[in-house]
Amino acid sequence: MNQSSGVRVRIAPSPTGSFHVGNARSALFNWLFARHNDGVFLVRIDDTDRERSLPQYEEDILTGLRWLGLDWDEGVEVGGPHGTYRQSDRADRYLDAVGQLIDSGAAYHDNRTAEELDELRERARAESRHPGFYIRRPDVVVDEGVVRLAINQDEDVVFDDVVRGEMRFGADAVDDFVILRSDGSPTYHLASTVDDIDYEISHVVRGEDLLSSSPKHILLTRALGAQPPIYAHLPLLFGDDGKKLSKRHGDTALRSYREQGYLPDAMFNHLALLGWSPGENQTIVERATAVERFSLEKVSKNPAVFDIAKLDHINGEYMRAMDHDEFLQLVRPLVDTDETGWKRFVALSPEIQERTNRIPEAVEQAAFLFTDEISFDEKSWSKVMMEGTAAVLKTVADRLETLEEWTTEPIEASLRGVLETLELGPRKVFQPVRVAITGSSVSPPLFESLAALGRDESLRRIRAAAARLG
């Protein structure tokens, strides 16, 4: 790979919970930016939270990235010049950075109690100032406690965000924040900043919820004698109620969508459109097109809505465009049936594929093919099984029984002949037959369903429904 562009971006999730769709969107945008610029996409694991970081969550992250097709050039498992790319293995490096900052006077130890710090915050609030306004270097020098970065209050922190434009933070609104805890463990601010320096990250592309951390990271980077990266803060993901995406909107773990039968290409497509557009009002965007057209400058500032209905639509488009043999391979593990049931499904599968948005729906649509004991949806039954319907079903069974060839066209011709004979509309004939053979008024196309189910079973079910009415 030609990496002359100098673009180096990273995704740095913490393995403390399931891989969130918001993190997946951030990873995808980083990947698109790297691939568009022929740069490096790096995956590191921010696991300094020793108690909550668990191997299964790390595996969930890596599995999710692979499922989306987001390959990485450096990082965990693939290697690179920076060791394991896990923060838990870099404790000595963080301590060295803290020592450098203390020696230069840019950081100091602080052993003030929580009560003393609360008093300083209350004083600031009483004066309508930022709560951290008075949390500054004390006059007494100590060599224990937490370590804080000393902030120069005479200069605002200003930077150009690729997405949001010029961002300005008053220096008096940034407290002397903790970079090393009293137990010797680094904070997120320290570990993330040191890693970004060491890994030569050129652009930090992350969610807007981390925007308030950026002035701290910029000041810390400068204190360590390095040049801050370029920042791009992505819009938040909202639910369809206009509020920040959370569990109240349903599943937020990427794994859940994989388990529900969504396709990786469809999820990639959906996530790519959450805050970015390729232009031309496109809904279906191939990977190659997304890579070719992606630009951080075209990312919106406005929140993006994670719309399940839109995801279903996109997934359905990919399902219908899929090679039919691939469709069958995806469905087969979900179908618990014998060879007869599977042959029935295969016969009807082209019609089912055209009407499927998610893989499990294919099995649901075809459930009537896999059983000898049909279960009737009572609402459907009561709606179409009227007085006189038993006679209609008997006529249908008698007419179908005379067919020499049990295929779609003769079945359709026979049933339409019943309409003429009985002088009834399709609703009075086709719908009762549909309920009789599938158990529901909603099913795949009737004539194709009869053909797939087979002569003997179709006739048995139709006559059984007529008997049930009688």
Percentage with pLDDT > 70 across the chain: 98
pLDDT in tens, 84-131: 999 999 999 999 999 999 999 999 999 999 999 999 999 999 999 989
pLDDT in tens, 310-345: 999 999 999 999 999 999 999 999 999 999 999 999
Question: Would residue 247 show up in a list of annotated catalytic residues for this protein?
Answer: yes
Helix ranges (H only) for 105-187 are 114-126
- Sketch the domain layout of the chain as residue ranges: 90-234, 378-469
Strand bridging mode 178-180 / 203-207: unpaired
- 378-469 shares the fold of 90-234: no
pLDDT in tens, 12-60: 999 999 999 999 999 999 999 999 999 999 999 999 888 898 999 999 9
Banded pLDDT at 172 (limits 50, 70, 90): confident
Report the DSSP beta bridge partners of residue 75.
Answer: 43, 79
What average pLDDT does range 451-463 have in this prediction? 97
pLDDT in tens, 215-256: 999 999 999 999 999 999 999 999 887 888 876 656 789 999
Q: What is the pLDDT of residue 249?
A: 58
Helix ranges (H only) for 37-76 are 55-68
Distances (CA, A) of 466 to 18, 294, 452, 455, 458: 52, 61, 21, 17, 13
What fold is seen in the domain 90-234?
Rossmann fold (3.40.50)
Q: Which of 216, 244, 247, 379 is catalytic?
A: 247
> φ and ψ at 4, to 5 degrees?
-75, -10
pTM for this model (two decimals): 0.91
Q: What is the pLDDT of residue 2?
A: 39
Average pLDDT, the chain: 94
Domain 378-469 has CATH 1.10.10.350: yes
**CB-count exposure of residue 453 (10 Å: 0-12, 13-18, 19+):** buried
pLDDT in tens, 378-433: 999 999 999 999 999 999 999 999 999 999 999 999 999 999 999 999 999 999 99
> φ and ψ at 375, to 5 degrees?
-105, 120
Contact 314, 256 (CB under 8 A): no
Q: What is the pLDDT of residue 398?
A: 97
Q: What is the pLDDT of residue 470?
A: 81
Q: What is the pLDDT of residue 3?
A: 42
